[in-house]
Amino acid sequence: MGEMGLGYGSEYQLLRFLGHHRNYLNGRIQEILGTQEEIHWLDYPSNYGKASLDAEWVGIECFKDEPNFDEIRQRWDNFWPSKTKAQNWDGIFRVGSKWYFVEAKAHEEETRSSCKASDPKSVEMINQAFGKVAAHYKSSKGNEWASADCKSYQLANRLAFIYFCRENGIDAALLYISFLNGYDKPGEKGRKNITTIAEWERIWQDEFDELGIDMKAVEGSWYNLCIDCTEHYANI
């Protein structure tokens, strides 16, 4: 996790909505999940080495208070290489007993990355995990997900995490928050801004196409919520 930008970017926008417009954010989330149950956000872990003084949850750390955490950790260690290569979460919340892992995005480049693992054992573990996930989603491209050419690696490893959770009795899903007009970085003149829902829909369709996964196959385990950062929320 890099340092948070002031006034722009996905991390800033998510914290802005959590701090200034939480009722609106929770209402939109409830709408897309089709529930009226209360949303319980996890507080972020502290990290005094960061300018924000906080860090992100990593991998399975959020389960540390679960009574069977030792078993979860042992199974995770056999599924994914290590904490240093584990998923960093922009936010986590629960609705009832179900866990939701949040990824916030403000421009397309944030969605594109390839696998950086170089240790042969780590690459082998990742490929084995991806093989199971690809088979689950009936994709014939799983052996490509960890290649340097695949730029949808981040989405692939997030889906792998949800697969792991569900295979181990943890009800979990991904919630992507795709911000519109959320990246007015000084000097950028808004050139990276995504301005329409259609643009985000095209981006995510391209990602799933690259992974060879039909988006209908992830219904209930992957959600996309678009929020316009320029709307007025005070009276909502």
What is the pLDDT at residue 86?
84
Element (H, E) at 40: strand 40-41
40-90 residue pLDDT tens: 999 988 776 766 666 788 999 999 999 999 999 999 999 999 755 689 999
Q: Are strands 91-95 and 40-41 parallel, antiparallel or unpaired?
A: antiparallel
Distance CA 36, CA 29 (A): 10
129 near 160, Cβ under 8 Å?
yes
Model-level pTM? 0.92
Cβ partners under 8 Å of residue 226, min gap 6: 177, 178, 179, 180, 197, 200
> Count of residues for the chain?
236
pLDDT for 1 equals 44
CA 172, CA 165: separation in Å to the nearest integer?
6
What is d(CA 69, CA 63) in angstroms, rounded to the nearest whole number? 6
For residue 53, the model assigns a pLDDT of 63
Residues of the chain with pLDDT under 50: 1, 236
The pair of structure tokens assigned to 174 is: 């991904």
Q: Are 173 and 162 in contact (CB under 8 A)?
A: yes
Q: Could you say which DSSP state residue 54 is in?
A: B
